[in-house]
Amino acid sequence: MMTHTLQTPSDGVIGDYVRSHESFLKELDSEQPSWLRSIRSSGIAHFSEQGFPGTDQEKWKYTNLASLRKTCFPPVAGSEISEEQRVEILSRIPEKLEGERLVIVDGVHCGSLSERSNNLKFQFLPFSSMVKNSDNRVDSYLGRHIRHDQNPIVALNSAFIREGVFLEMPSGLQIEQPLHIFYVDTGKKSGSAVHLRHLFIAGSNSRVEIFEHYISLNESHGFTNVVTEVFVGENASLEHIKWQDQNRTSYHISNLAVAQESGSRFTSHSISTGAAISRNDIHIKLVGERTESFLYGLYLGRGNQLVDHHTVVDHLKPNSESEEIYHGILCEKSHGVFNGRIHVHSEAQKTNAKQSNRNLLLSRDSWIDTKPELEIYADDVRCTHGATVGQMDEQAVFYLRARGIPEPAARRILVGAFAGEITQRIPLASVRQSLQSYLLEELSRIPLEICSR
């Protein structure tokens, strides 16, 4: 990798980031193998060249990062947690969710909260401990499918790369118990950032389920930047469940890049209920033939939340199938953005791609910008897409009321059912139940207005 030399730090926020990066590097002196050093320095170089994307860019048209552009969010480096916080953190873990667990608190792995068994047949490690043990396996994968020269937020993540989860499933190993990655923002340092870098590698014929959960303990104002690279080997199956429920004053930006080999299956469940502004980019590259990809998503907006999903499915080879279903529930003054691109390359004959995005607007002031983008260069393909924006079905509300169910409960049942069409696909019962009761409770607090426009 090329190393970049920085010119004199620029002014404004970019300059602040460059300076913050310098002190970050100084602190890390001992944990800098050369490959990591080069990623970090090229990251800051690319970021300082580009800065945060503006709304003049098509991909960021509806999501304004003005507040991120205003002040620098320096990185936090872990926190001591109190006994009280420890109890709270443990209480937020879905009941009966057993298995391996890595807990990251304020950007640093927390060994005392994690659950790890000895003699695992696979690698499930915090990034930091690998660096400490001079385990350089990460190097050969990092940045292979997600390039930071084209994405300043990924570049920023590379610049401050320090913690994350490394998963490597050897060929043929199929595990039943899910792996849990739990990220906790304690809010100790308001106005700070955490850049997480995950790397999941599923060897051929392996099978694994991963549950990534993001929460905050209080209403501080933080920035979480997650970059995840996933490699799904031949005939392997990887199911990824991500539930982002950070506090509603924070920013959450996530880039997930997936490469699928022949015969593999990848399923993504992206649940967004938290953050003031959240942006999820999911990019799936079907590099092999006969692959299956499922992308499910559910977003709940209330208050002034902005929830943005941008997905791309790149069909590069023949005989692959992709199905995408996203449901949005937008209340109060919240704003949803959905952009789903299906790109069928000329070689990808017999592609079968489906996409649907349905939105419930539950107040006069909520809104959604939804856009499918199909680019098809092969002739023998089946692609369908549809987006709907609507209010609650008043006929159904009446039907429930006419059977004696009070109107507020009737509305909750219907919104719950709409969400349920996504949540019921989550294979982990404990996560599904915890999410469903969370939604039920949230919905009972929000006035579900009747609105005709």
Partner 1 sequence: MSSETLLEINKLKAGINGQAILKGIDLTVNAGEVHAIMGPNGSGKSTLAQVLVGREEYEVSEGKVTYQGKDLLDMSVEDRAREGVFLAFQYPVEIPGVNGTYFLRAAYNEQRKYRGEEELDAVDFLALVKEKMKVLELPPTLLQRPVNEGFSGGEKKRNEIFQMAVLEPTLAILDETDSGLDIDALKTVAEGVNKLKNSRNAQIVITHYQRLLNYIVPDFVHVLYDGKLIKSGGRELALELEERGYDWVVAEASSTAALAS
Query: By CB under 8 A, which span of 78-86, 332-340, 373-381, 417-425 interacts with partner 1?
Result: 417-425
In one-letter notation, the amino acid at residue 295 is L
Q: Which of 207, 260, 208 is nearest to 232 (CA)?
A: 260
Least distance in angstroms from the C-beta of 325 to partner 1: 13
CA separation for the pair 276, 302 (Å, rounded)? 10
Query: By CB under 8 A, which span of 150-158, 215-223, 381-389, 416-424 interacts with partner 1?
Result: 416-424
Residue 305 and residue 276 in contact, taking contact as beta carbons nearer than 8 Å:
yes
Query: By CB under 8 A, which span of 8-16, 32-40, 82-90, 411-419 interacts with partner 1?
Result: 411-419
- Read off the tokens for 198: 């995950």
In one-letter notation, the amino acid at residue 167 is L
If the CB atoms of residues 312 and 413 are measured against partner 1, the closer one turns out to be 413
Tell me which of 150, 421, 444, 447 binds partner 1, using CB under 8 A. 421
CA separation for the pair 379, 38 (Å, rounded)? 44
If the CB atoms of residues 77 and 450 are measured against partner 1, the closer one turns out to be 450
Say whether residue 130 binds partner 1 (CB under 8 A).
Answer: no
**Mapping DSSP to helix (H, G, I), strand (E, B) and coil, where does residue 419 land?**
helix
If the CB atoms of residues 31 and 393 are measured against partner 1, the closer one turns out to be 393
Number of CB atoms found within 10 A of residue 176's CB: 8
Least distance in angstroms from the C-beta of 395 to partner 1: 5
CA separation for the pair 193, 187 (Å, rounded)? 10
If the CB atoms of residues 12 and 406 are measured against partner 1, the closer one turns out to be 406
In the 8-state DSSP scheme, what is residue 293? E
If the CB atoms of residues 141 and 438 are measured against partner 1, the closer one turns out to be 438
Burial class (CB in 10 A: 0-12, 13-18, 19+), 173: middle
If the CB atoms of residues 130 and 450 are measured against partner 1, the closer one turns out to be 450
CA separation for the pair 423, 297 (Å, rounded)? 9
Least distance in angstroms from the C-beta of 316 to partner 1: 35
Residues in region 73-112 near partner 1 by CB under 8 A = none
Tell me which of 319, 413, 425, 433 binds partner 1, using CB under 8 A. 413
| Residue 57: half-sphere exposure toward Cβ, Cα within 13 Å | 13
Residues in region 370-409 near partner 1 by CB under 8 A = 393, 395-396, 398-407, 409
In the 8-state DSSP scheme, what is residue 364? T
CA separation for the pair 375, 380 (Å, rounded)? 14
- B/e letters for 224-250, b = 16+ CB within 10 Å, e = fewer, are bbbbbbbbbbbbbbbbbbbbbbbbbbb
In one-letter notation, the amino acid at residue 273 is T
Q: How many residues bind partner 1 (CB under 8 A)?
A: 21
CA dist 41 → 35, 44, 430 (Å): 10, 5, 41
CA separation for the pair 170, 397 (Å, rounded)? 51
Interface mask (CB under 8 A) for partner 1, residues 352-371, using x and -?
Answer: --------------------
- Read off the tokens for 374: 């199909």
Least distance in angstroms from the C-beta of 402 to partner 1: 5
Least distance in angstroms from the C-beta of 397 to partner 1: 9
Tell me which of 329, 414, 428, 439 binds partner 1, using CB under 8 A. 414
Least distance in angstroms from the C-beta of 448 to partner 1: 15
Task: Look up tokens 């919104």; give the residue.
Answer: 415
If the CB atoms of residues 90 and 409 are measured against partner 1, the closer one turns out to be 409
If the CB atoms of residues 377 and 398 are measured against partner 1, the closer one turns out to be 398
Residues in region 298-337 near partner 1 by CB under 8 A = none
Please compute Rg for the chain using Cα positions.
22
If the CB atoms of residues 101 and 432 are measured against partner 1, the closer one turns out to be 432
Least distance in angstroms from the C-beta of 82 to partner 1: 41
Bridge partners, 357 (sequence order): 326, 387
If the CB atoms of residues 133 and 404 are measured against partner 1, the closer one turns out to be 404
If the CB atoms of residues 249 and 391 are measured against partner 1, the closer one turns out to be 391
Tell me which of 87, 120, 417, 451 binds partner 1, using CB under 8 A. 417
Least distance in angstroms from the C-beta of 404 to partner 1: 4
Least distance in angstroms from the C-beta of 138 to partner 1: 42
Name the packing angle between helices 34-50 and 152-159 (round to 10°).
140
Task: Look up tokens 């190993």; give the residue.
Answer: 173
CA separation for the pair 182, 266 (Å, rounded)? 21
Least distance in angstroms from the C-beta of 293 to partner 1: 24
Q: Which residues bind partner 1 (CB under 8 A)?
A: 393, 395-396, 398-407, 409, 413-414, 416-418, 420-421
